[in-house]
Amino acid sequence: MTIDLFADTVGKTVSCAKTVGESDVYLFAGITGDLSPNHVDEAAMSKTKYGHRIAHGALLVGYMSRASTMICDQCGPLMATHFPVSLGYDRVRFLDAVLIGDTISITYTITNADAGKFRTMATVEVRNQKGILCAVATHIMRWIGRD
């Protein structure tokens, strides 16, 4: 039965969107202490190829996490018997800047299931409003049996 539950997850996908606001970037900078000019100094960034402040890469991973939570709604039979726990993100790459004011779309697709290890793997893509791929990652989810 477990193998069937995991096999049914492959191909499941969710998407969500978020406009990255100035408050998102400043609150994240305050929480993490990452006050790099890249994120908080418009004058300094205006002299770069980006022309404006950019969102923290780790903030984008946080948005990826939202999508990983949303996928659970697509995994009803598995969720009935197992609890999801993130094991982390591999191959995280920031391919293009996300500017304050950009609206990003995050797509999370389960690409592989390993019933023996109770894991699913997913590709995660972040695109801006122009369709430009800004970030990618592989997410690994461990599924723990409910008691």
Residue 31 covered by a domain:
no
CA distance 13 to 23: 29
pLDDT of residue 3: 52
Total count of domains within the chain: 1
Question: In this predicted model, which residue has the larger pLDDT, 113 or 146?
Answer: 113
CA distance 105 to 46: 25
CB atoms within 10 A of CB 99: 17
Domain assignment of residue 97, given as a range = 2-20+56-145
Residue 138 covered by a domain:
yes
H-type helices in 46-103, by residue range? Answer: 57-70, 76-81
Question: In this predicted model, which residue has the larger pLDDT, 84 or 146?
Answer: 84
Residue 97 covered by a domain:
yes
Q: How confident is the model at residue 1 (pLDDT cuts 50, 70, 90)?
A: very low
Residue 111 covered by a domain:
yes
Q: List Cβ neighbours of 40 (8 Å cut-off, separation of 6 or more).
A: 25, 26, 29, 53
Q: List, edge to edge, every strand of the sheet that includes 133-145.
A: 13-19, 103-114, 119-127, 133-145, 82-94
pLDDT > 70: percent of the chain = 97
Per residue in 18-56, pLDDT (tens digit) is 999 999 999 999 999 999 999 999 999 999 999 999 999
Residue 25 covered by a domain:
no
Helix/strand/coil for 100: coil
What CATH code is carried by the domain that includes residue 100?
3.10.129.10
pLDDT of residue 147: 74
